[in-house]
Structure 1
Amino acid sequence: MVTRVNEDSVAWRDPKRYLWPLGLAAPLGPFIAWALVHTLGLGLFWAFGAFLWLIFIPFIDLVTGPDNSNPPEEAMAALERNRYYRWCLYLYLPLQYLGLFFGCYFLVHEPMGSGERAALAVTLGVSAAIGINVGHELVHRLPGSERTLGKWALAQSFYGHFCVEHKYGHHVRVATPEDFATARFGESFWAFLPRSIFGGIRSSWRLERARLERHGQRVWSRGNNLLVAWSMSVVCFAPLILLFGWGLLPWIAIQAAIAILLLESANYLEHYGLLRQKRPNGNYERITPQHSWNSDQLCSNLFLYHLQRHSDHHANPGRRYQLLRSFKESPQLPSGYVVMIILSLFPPLWRRVMDHRVLAHYGGDLTLINVCPRKRERVVRRYGTGAYATS
């Protein structure tokens, strides 16, 4: 389905306009799961979120193939102003929390075993994970109201520090050894995971403390964005625990862990091995489309609000998701994020698929690659020294 986006002067139609609400299937997951279980009588459908993530999205990606179309420059201003695209995001939040409430209700009141409860927790975790991505989109926006909505989107996963670290840490240090959310060549996802989580938390606290001190404010105050974001998680879950009981705690923890795992695996693949070079003055070169891995798979881009057009996002972080473009010069993933996230969980498979692509992107020159220091000698033995320096 298509519709006119720019009604001022450019007769351009957005072919994906009415496809963006597909992403709302994720927060509706608990309702869809309940309907499938009661219609078909199979408890495995409590894992609807897993089926959506692991089967539906990759299958549609495979059928539809990549979409590398870009809006014309003349249509960008009108596309930016069109509030329809904002409402596609805004609607995610009430559905996310409605799904969370009824998911907790089902966990307590529906007759199900521990395996079925775990399956429903996974469905809630997928909703929370895509909610983090919605929050990612919103915390980049200038209106304070959108940034507040972004914090609420992060609250379900207890990942409020992301609103500070991603914008003021990751976007500044991306594709450098100093960035906690940039995976290094040869680094497994399981080694990257704690480095990114705990490094990001520490970094966000340092950044927020420095900001408050510059403005003459106390760190432990209502002006602290981290304390506000973390308190939102308390406000989110305290009423649910009071209403449904402490037995919810393990399932709340599981769904949050699933969301964090999916987010950090996306972080892992987005800049794996990529490195901005240093200029003679010691500063890093500016961020270009070559410093992020991209994927143009249609369905996963719809569910992730063009997150896979990551190069344009880093080059233009103020650009809304519907405007993000595909670049030929960006390194390309062989599949969508969903498939690549699965591969990242198995380091030998990941290395087999990705290491030669990193090397090809840099013409085989290891000096240009962000190599994991702990794996440096192993990488040299495997790929040869060439011009590679170990100092």
Structure 2
Amino acid sequence: MTAADTYPGGTDSAPHWRDPKRYYWLLGLFIPMFPFVAWGLVTWTGLGGFWWTGVVVLYVVFPLIDILIGKDSANPPDSALAWLEQDRYYRWCTYMYLPFQYAGLVLGIWLLTRGGMSVVDQIGLTVTLGGVAGIGINTAHELGHKKESTERWLSKIALAQTMYGHFFIEHNRGHHVRVATPEDPASARLGESFWRFLPRTVYGSLTSAWRLEKARLGRRGKSLWTWRNDVLNAWAMTVALFGALVAAFGPEALPYLVGQAVFGFCLLEVINYTEHYGLLRRRTDTGRYERCAPRHSWNSDNVASNVFLYHLQRHSDHHANPTRRYQALRHFDDAPELPTGYAGMIVLAYFPPLWRKVMDPRVQAHYGGDLTRANIRPGKHAAYGVVAA
């Protein structure tokens, strides 16, 4: 086999290395198939419980698969990174998520509005659609960090289903600047439950995106009320999408559209909750925060979740290199490690006592017992034996 065969881009660097996950990334396309799988199983068996397929897979099957398959901490060699970045096959693995995502949405809304489903079945299918939409935000996350305008627009399109177009602004220009600081609405604090974090991050992210875009347009002498406002044009995509589906299937489609969107962005936020819980960047002598380092993100090398989430769990490298494509993200030995993949951690997050029992000792161990170095929820310092600054 020649180097050109190994590397489609044609390079003689690291000619004997091949990406062992190359074709596994296509498994990510199983997630937008949830509505089709659910419909097929209900049609085949007559059992309405299969409308909940998305929930069962996300919260039961995937966590178990993570445990059974285990971890993979192997990194691509540095000499292969340039090839991995330019190989367009990996881009199409994410691009293809979108047509399946929206085909599933149309199918789901048609099924929900044609009648004949019980309320329980309707809720099941709605949250199944929301699961696809929520993981779709992760696809939007991968695309939105890239420099190519086509990918950035695809990111906004992926976000339209969840009414979360402002994530495109806040994540890139807000979260990545303020990550692991008290000022970041998307960084969870030690002692903060997910249910307290959720309204804080939803409201904080929205208002932050609006302020960031207002400032950007102001520097250019532009009005806030323009189609160049990336918050407004992203939201307009949601209005157009929902409007088209309401026109096609009637006003009864709207509650389902809103319901799946809310479930979808809440799924994103529970993942955000796990990524930086309790971690803090310290201020330097200049008063500025230290540079973001691997120690400021929780990581996981569980193979299954990493494949389905496009290596989102290699979060430290993502923050160090935001434009680096998912297939080239690396494991860091000095990054704090979650006890399992995101699939299992989001289940724990819904139950605060379990979450604290598992994660609080890990935060403490990460800081060598010195919790003055942690990002603690205001009012909770005394509970952790820390005097508030």
Residues 166 and 209 of structure 2 are in contact (CA less than 8 Å); yes or no, is this contact kept in structure 1?
yes
Q: Distance in 1 between matches of 2:384 and 2:258?
A: 37
Which residue of structure 2 lines up, in the alignment, with residue 130 of structure 1? 135
1:32 to partner: Cα distance: 1.0
Q: Distance in 2 between matches of 1:166 and 1:353?
A: 27
Which residue of structure 2 lines up, in the alignment, with residue 289 of structure 1? 294
Q: Distance in 2 between matches of 1:124 and 1:206?
A: 31
Residues 74 and 331 of structure 2 are in contact (CA less than 8 Å); yes or no, is this contact kept in structure 1?
yes
The alignment partner of 2:333 has SS state of coil
- Alignment match of 1:8 (pick from 2, 11, 33): 11
The 5-angstrom pairing of residues 193-204 of structure 1 reads 193-204=198-209
The 5-angstrom pairing of residues 236-251 of structure 1 reads 236-251=241-256
Q: Residue deviations 1:258-281, cap 9 Å, x none?
A: 111111111111000000111111
The 5-angstrom pairing of residues 1-391 of structure 1 reads 4-5=6-7, 7-9=10-12, 10=14, 11-109=16-114, 111-380=116-385, 388-391=386-389
Q: Distance in 2 between matches of 1:139 and 1:189?
A: 25
Residues 4 and 14 of structure 1 are in contact (CA less than 8 Å); yes or no, is this contact kept in structure 2?
no
1:200 to partner: Cα distance: 0.7
Residues 242 and 254 of structure 2 are in contact (CA less than 8 Å); yes or no, is this contact kept in structure 1?
no
Q: Which amino acid aligns with 2:325?
A: R
1:374 to partner: Cα distance: 2.0
Q: Distance in 2 between matches of 1:54 and 1:346?
A: 13
1:201 to partner: Cα distance: 0.7
1:145 to partner: Cα distance: 1.0
Q: Distance in 1 between matches of 2:323 and 2:340?
A: 26
Q: Distance in 2 between matches of 1:342 and 1:183?
A: 16
1:26 to partner: Cα distance: 1.4
Q: Distance in 1 between matches of 2:380 and 2:6?
A: 52
1:39 to partner: Cα distance: 1.0
Q: Distance in 2 between matches of 1:4 and 1:326?
A: 23
The alignment partner of 1:13 has SS state of coil
Residues 169 and 179 of structure 1 are in contact (CA less than 8 Å); yes or no, is this contact kept in structure 2?
yes
Q: Distance in 1 between matches of 2:42 and 2:74?
A: 39
Residues 126 and 259 of structure 2 are in contact (CA less than 8 Å); yes or no, is this contact kept in structure 1?
yes
Q: Residue deviations 1:314-339, cap 9 Å, x none?
A: 01101001011111100000011011
The alignment partner of 1:103 has SS state of helix
Which residue of structure 2 lines up, in the alignment, with residue 383 of structure 1? none
Q: Residue deviations 1:52-106, cap 9 Å, x none?
A: 2122212221221011111100001111110000000000111111111111111
Residues 39 and 51 of structure 2 are in contact (CA less than 8 Å); yes or no, is this contact kept in structure 1?
yes
Residues 157 and 260 of structure 1 are in contact (CA less than 8 Å); yes or no, is this contact kept in structure 2?
yes
Q: Residue deviations 1:149-191, cap 9 Å, x none?
A: 0001001000011000001000000001111110011111111
With the length of structure 1 as denominator, give the TM-score of the two structures: 0.96
Q: Distance in 1 between matches of 2:383 and 2:332?
A: 33
1:21 to partner: Cα distance: 1.1
Q: List alignment gaps of at least 5 residues for structure 2.
A: none
1:111 to partner: Cα distance: 2.4
1:5 to partner: Cα distance: 4.2
1:109 to partner: Cα distance: 2.1
Larger CA deviation: 181-190 vs 50-59: 50-59
Residues 381 and 387 of structure 2 are in contact (CA less than 8 Å); yes or no, is this contact kept in structure 1?
no
Pairwise CA RMSD: 1.2
Q: Residue deviations 1:276-310, cap 9 Å, x none?
A: 11111101110111100001111111111111110
1:375 to partner: Cα distance: 1.4
Q: Which amino acid aligns with 2:58?
A: W
Q: Which amino acid aligns with 2:352?
A: P
The alignment partner of 1:246 has SS state of coil
Q: Distance in 2 between matches of 1:230 and 1:31?
A: 27
The alignment partner of 1:159 has SS state of coil
Residues 5 and 14 of structure 1 are in contact (CA less than 8 Å); yes or no, is this contact kept in structure 2?
no
1:25 to partner: Cα distance: 1.2
1:390 to partner: Cα distance: 2.0
Number of equivalences: 382
Residues 280 and 374 of structure 2 are in contact (CA less than 8 Å); yes or no, is this contact kept in structure 1?
yes
Q: Which amino acid aligns with 1:126?
A: G
With the length of structure 2 as denominator, give the TM-score of the two structures: 0.96
Q: Which amino acid aligns with 1:106?
A: L
